[in-house]
Amino acid sequence: ANQAVAAARLAVDRQCRFACHFGTDLHTPMLEQALLADGVDISACSRCEGVPSGHGYVLLEPDGAVASIVVGGANADWTEQQAAELAEVVRSASIVLLQREVPEIVNEVIAAAAFEAGVPGMLG
């Protein structure tokens, strides 16, 4: 979500659309509002009942090394069909950013749709 916020802040004449699965825990309304407040389009997001939202933590080691921990939560609950439903959104995008917080099949389906449409992509 932090990369979507950064992209939305940098976008001058474009809209940043974010796709994820939110959980139904107490964090979800705060996450949605934070994204909306920065102009991120969350219309491609959905909620997974009874599952908490995912969390990511960045750790700074004493030697300066950076480590991260991802707790997938609802974002780990994707199917290939759900990913395929996003293909239409991808075809009209200017660029696609893939992340490892979702199952690999999601990245594979979205990357293939982007490639077929000539949309550049990157893995963050």
Query: Which CATH number is 30's domain given?
Result: 3.40.1190.20
| Terminal Cα distance for the chain, rounded | 12
User: How sure is the predictor about 1, in pLDDT bands with cuts at 50, 70 and 90?
Assistant: confident
Number of structural domains the chain divides into: 1
pTM for this structure? 0.85
DSSP state of 11: -
Average pLDDT on 55-76 reads: 93
Task: Identify the pLDDT of residue 87.
Answer: 86
Q: Percent of the chain scored above 90 by pLDDT?
A: 83
The torsion defined by the Cα of 22, 27, 32 and 38, in degrees rounded to 10, comes to: -130
**Domain span including residue 114:** 2-123
Task: Identify the pLDDT of residue 7.
Answer: 92
Check pLDDT > 90 for residue 11.
no
Average pLDDT on 34-52 reads: 95
Task: Identify the pLDDT of residue 16.
Answer: 94
Average pLDDT on 78-107 reads: 92
d(CA 108, CA 92): 18
Closest CA relative to residue 112, chosen from 92, 91, 81? 91
For residues 122 and 7, is the Cβ–Cβ distance under 8 A? no
Average pLDDT on 20-40 reads: 95
Q: Count CA atoms closer than 13 A to 116's CA, side-chain side.
A: 11
